[in-house]
Amino acid sequence: MLELIEEIVLAVTGKRGLTPDTDFIQDLELNSFDIMNIVCAFEDRLDITIPTRDVWQLRTVRDVMTYMETHNVQF
Amino acid sequence: MCSSDARCALVALPADDPRSRDERVEYAVRHAGFPAGLLERPPRGKPYFPDAAETRFSVSHSGAFWVCAVAAFEVGVDLQRHVDCPAGRIARRFFHPDEADWLEAHPDRFFDVWTAKEAYVKFTGRGIGEQFGAFSCIADGALVPPPGSFHRFLPFAEGYSCCVCAGCEFEIEWVK
């Protein structure tokens, strides 16, 4: 799952070096548009919809991994 | 309510400026000639200056730049570098339907709509949430500020859109 997240973030933002503790805003210095762009990429890749209210709870790579597991996202 | 001082100062720094985000804000506010002090970040709500209650500010960063808007009234600013992206997909997913429709006919204005919307939600303090697609910056076939607000698009560097939004008419002052 980490590899998938790395792949999508790299494709959208050009940023590398993710770990589970990576904070998208503090560590990668992404802005709101970057986040929304990444969300669209995830949704298209995994054929899911992430409610906007959930997006801003996903601050780290680990948050995304936990969210995917909790929502039984298949990839 | 806007004060009698309708000046909104803009301070831009390189994105790789070595100061912390709070130090940048404190510098920008002082450099713009507004009362400052040390910034406080409450657990909820917007950061503020306890010793300068009249000073309001908003920050944005994209690409090679960081920008801060400072005023004596609530203000929101958004700066966005034009990047390759699935603009139509993003518009259908996050924007108001009227905006997505308008952008089909005006695809080169995508980042203007984005910055207008984000400057507005920063001005209101609501941030991007479920309501981001509930309001429209398109009315009568034109890009306009949502009701109760005023906005201005500012010339910035090539390949960037920059919008400032407030609750009253305002004048922009670039501070070098």
Cβ–Cβ below 8 Å for A40 and B90: yes
A36 vs B contacts (CB less than 8 Å)? 90, 93-94, 128
Please, how many CA atoms are within 13 Å of residue A24, restricted to the half-sphere of its CB?
27
Q: Residue A32: which of B86, B89, B118 has the nearest Cβ?
A: B118
Reported ipTM: the value is 0.87
Contacts of B155 (CB under 8 A, 6+ apart): B162
pTM of the model: 0.92
Among chain A residues, CA nearest to B118: A32
The CA angle B40-B41-B43, to the nearest 5 degrees, is 140
Q: What is the pLDDT of residues A5-51, one digit of tens each?
A: 999 999 999 999 999 999 999 899 999 999 999 999 999 999 999 98
